[in-house]
A and B are shown apart, each in its own frame.
Chain A
Amino acid sequence: MNEPKEIEILLVEDNQDDLDMTLRALRKANLANHIHVARDGVEALEFIFCEGPHANRKIENGPKVVLLDLKLPKIDGMEVLKRIKSDPRTKIIPVVMMTSSKEQRDVIESYHLGVNSYIVKPVNFEGFATAVQELGMYWLLFNQPPKTGG
């Protein structure tokens, strides 16, 4: 998990079912080549800030997009978002918040913290797959971020 290859998508998801479905949808859209999966907020932050098991990574080689679940063990998605967006080295990384519901306060707080997209995971199967594929495509292909360090 700590090979220094270029990671395009950081998927932060604790729910195995959602994780499997998301990976499957990304695979089907040929977006699954460089995915790193973190299962909680701590793992996600360690990866992004190159700490702990990822100490040999370079922070400039951050992911092109972070798909972040809101409800996570240990450190929740909102806190992860806050840390990414408040650090000048990482705040350029697009973050897509994925959540089960459209609770207004969550949506508002996410946008306050600088989230780039906010999507509600649909209950129905087709809707879920389509949503994951579309937003992955958008952030990876159409929304090229400027080179970090600029």
Chain B
Amino acid sequence: MKAEQQLKASLKEIGDLKAALDEHAIVAITDPQGKITYVNDKFCAISKYPREELIGQDHRIINSGFHPKEFIHDLWITIAQGKVWKGEIKNKAKDGSFYWVDTTIVPFLNDDGKPRQYVAIRADITERKHAEEARVRLAAIVESSDDAIIGKTLDGIITSWNRGAEKAFGYSPQEAIGKPMLMIIPPERAGEEPKILARIARGESVDHFETVRVRKDGKRIDISATISPLKDSSGKIIGASKIARDITEQKHAQEQLKAFLKEIGDLKSALDEHAIVAITDPQGKITYVNDKFCAISKYSREELIGQDHRLINSGFHSKEFIRDLWTTITHGKVWKGEIKNKAKDSSFYWVDTTIVPFLNDDGKPRQYVAIRADITERKAAAVEVVQLNAELEQRVAQRTVELEAANKELEAFSYSISHDLRAPLRAVNGFAGIVLEDFSPQLPEEGKRYLERIRNGGQQMGELIDDLLAFSRLSRRPVSRQTIDNSKLVKIILDELKFVLANREVQFQMGQLPSCYADPALLKQVWVNLISNAVKYSRDKNPAIIEIGSKCENNEHVFFVRDNGAGFDMRYANKLFGVFQRLHRADEFEGTGVGLAIVQRIIHRHGGRIWADAKLNNGATFYFTLEEGENL
């Protein structure tokens, strides 16, 4: 009785326990083959299968396919060996939805120690699993964010550190977590952290706080940070989350933009300082003028804005000119030109103008910017230059007329000399000759000698006149040049001379003579005069030696004619080339003193130089230079 009562009590307890278990857990029992032999209401509720559809089935009916084969295999090995298995399983309900159950499978053994049945007790952990998945997802988001997301305690100790943080600051999570935030704060900004932490502790957020932080490699970066308090489930502030963005580049771009804007501003002020600037709308109405525009046009800004440029039109330019300007700029092309404008006080000014059309997206001019430079003075100077040139030309023309007149006069003079001066000479000579011829017997010897002297004087004057005329003709004669073979020319001259010199012993020594560029007739005159002089002044030497040659000096050919004759005193060398200048008396060496003057004039007319070197009674050398001829 007591045992029965005890059993009854035990059964009741078991029944209570079972009821409590059923109330609390999802329970299923399977046979050793896995066939479901029992499910409680909670099992049916969560799996959404009615009990009839479950009994006799095995657990594959609720298999989600989520777990790998190894997982299922391990489970069966465990329980078949009579051991308890615990784990979390994802199942599939009848409607296809999934649920998670925390599962404990207890094998009950028969006397042989083989499993007799398995009792599976499960708890629904679907919500926990979802929460877990959400957390993982969030963590993944945090992890993959480019922004640095950092968790820290109210003491400023780092508690979390995402990949963005690693990227931004260079520390790995292992290096950062547990360390103070001060590690990434530059020393001079260390004061920021306590202030931030104080605000966080008061429950305030810090939004878009721009500051500077230090990377692991010591480099400083600009960041923009938002720091918010972190609360536990009870609402107590336990730390802070900090989202920081590296804005170094952004900052840099901003600074560049700022610098750029400043530069544009500088350029504009420089332009304003330098140029006359106006901006007009597409219709030509003035929308902007700078101070210089006002200054030169003498209009105030208020008088100009809203007007078009006709206000300052000088009326100087043709309609075509203005039309061309407008055609150019309305086609979006830059126009450049010089414009005469009229200022408010009716004075005129000239501006060198560049008009640049600025186009809108349709390619139509949106506005025109005109940049001008004041060229009034330059224009005035140009007018002056034109006037001066005209005056100069007039003066040149006048001088030319005067010069021509002078030349004509000179020509008339020499023409007259050549005729009129000779006629009386002919009379002097002629009648002296007639007296000698017709009255010789009546004349004493002395009288005849004097008449001879008269004739000689007249004769010499005739020669002087001839030489003088030859000399003056030289300056009127045009020089027509060609390349001349000097060797050939001098040989011809020497051949001609040899006839004259038949009764004298003269040794000619001829060296190399390069070609030159000269007038053939005039150059021949030069050689003839110089060689004849050499022959004349060396007539007292036996043998007379005359050397004709050339040498190269300072890249130019110098021709020379040298004799061993009378020479002259170098003190009088400056008189050598003067007309009618002689260094010898006529009874020593005859001559009129024109030969060397002619030579010098010819050489000068060819752009060459002539000089002489001599010693009294020790010969003379005449040198001259001429433009080099082509190679012959």
Contacts and interface: CB of A to CB of B under 8 A. Distances in A.
Interface string A8-26: 0000000101100100100
B301 interface: no
Interface stretch (A33-41, A46-54, A120-128): A120-128
A69 to B, nearest CB: 10
A15 B455 CA distance: 20
A125 B429 contact: yes
Interface residues of A, number: 19
A123 B419 contact: no
Interface stretch (A85-93, A96-104, A107-115, A137-145): A96-104
Interface stretch (B431-439, B498-506, B584-592, B593-601): B431-439
Interface stretch (B396-404, B420-428, B613-621): B420-428
Contacts of B422: 100-101, 121, 123
B430 interface: yes
Contact of B423 (A100, A122, A124): A100
B567 interface: no
A57 interface: no
A21 B432 CA distance: 11
B430 A103 contact: no
Contact of B434 (A21, A101, A121, A124): A21
Contact of A24 (B420, B434, B459): B434
A126 B426 contact: no
A81 B219 CA distance: 115
Q: How large is the interface on B (under 10, 10 to 19, 20 to 34, 35 or more residues)?
A: 20 to 34
Contact of B430 (A17, A70, A100, A101): A17
Contact of B459 (A101, A123, A129): A123
A71 interface: yes
Q: Considering residues B418, B420, B455, B469, which has the most beta carbons from chain A within 10 angstroms of its beta carbon?
A: B418
Given A121-B426, A125-B455, A101 B419 contact: yes
A103 B461 CA distance: 18
Contacts of A122: 426
B365 interface: no
Contacts of A99: 419
Contacts of A124: 429, 433, 455, 458-459, 462
A129 B418 CA distance: 20
A127 B131 CA distance: 151
A128 to B, nearest CB: 6
B415 interface: yes
Contact of A123 (B415, B429, B431): B429
Contacts of B458: 123-124
A15 B423 CA distance: 8
Contacts of B461: 123
B419 A71 contact: yes
Nearest to B460: A123
Interface string B190-203: 00000000000000
Interface in B511-548: none
Interface in A63-95: 70-71
A17 B427 contact: yes
A103 B432 contact: no
B235 to A, nearest CB: 132
Contacts of A71: 419-420
B434 A18 contact: no
A18 B432 CA distance: 13
A100 B418 contact: yes
A101 B469 contact: yes
A18 B429 CA distance: 11
Contacts of A70: 419
Nearest to B432: A125
A77 to B, nearest CB: 11
Contacts of A24: 434
A70 B432 CA distance: 25
22 contacts: A15-B423, A17-B424, A17-B427, A18-B423, A21-B426, A21-B430, A71-B419, A71-B420, A99-B419, A100-B420, A100-B426, A101-B419, A101-B422, A103-B415, A122-B426, A123-B459, A123-B462, A124-B429, A124-B458, A125-B429, A125-B432, A128-B426
Interface of A: 15, 17-18, 21, 24, 70-71, 99-101, 103, 121-126, 128-129
User: Which 3 residue pairs across A and B have the least CB separation, nearest first?
Assistant: A125-B433, A101-B418, A123-B462
